[in-house]
Amino acid sequence: MLPPCLYSVLYIPLQPHTYNVCARNPLFWEMPDSPRKQVKFEIPAEVIADYEARHLPLPSLPDPDLIALHAACARVAYLSGAAEHFDRVQEESEDIYVLASDGGSADLLSSLLDLIPVGA
């Protein structure tokens, strides 16, 4: 999973549920897990047919307001320096294979644990 401060998505006017993916660092696009530069959320026709056949309400698409909130949070994280903090934690985690017995790596461990999604 990519950390939210690395990217955000911006709505494309007049194109429902279509967004440009914006990255603060051009190297983002070279990462193996990078998303496409544009995404369109839609319900596949076979899913619509299946739901209609079972008389179920269609699943909803992501809420554009929540996506806009995510984009605003990503901008704030970048402008506040939180994105640089994430970069530093990421770099430190790549260099450390064992935690310090004196507790010296507690901050790093705490920061890494904060990155784990709730319910994972």
Do the strands 38-40 and 18-23 form a parallel or antiparallel pair, or are they unpaired?
A: antiparallel
| 110: three-class secondary structure by DSSP | helix
Taking the complete model, does pTM exceed 0.75, yes or no? no
Q: Is the dihedral of CA 93, 98, 100, 103 positive or negative?
A: positive
| 118: three-class secondary structure by DSSP | coil
Asked if 17 contacts 78 with a C-beta cutoff of 8 angstroms, the reply is no
pLDDT tier for residue 5 given thresholds of 50, 70 and 90: low
pLDDT in tens, 54-110: 999 999 998 988 888 888 877 777 777 766 777 776 676 667 766 777 877 777 777
Cα–Cα distance measured from residue 68 to residue 78, given in angstroms and rounded to the nearest whole number: 15
Token pair 């319900």: residue: 43
| 82: three-class secondary structure by DSSP | helix
Among 21, 17, 70, CA closest to 42:
17
DSSP β-bridge partners for residue 10: 20
Cα–Cα distance measured from residue 9 to residue 7, given in angstroms and rounded to the nearest whole number: 7
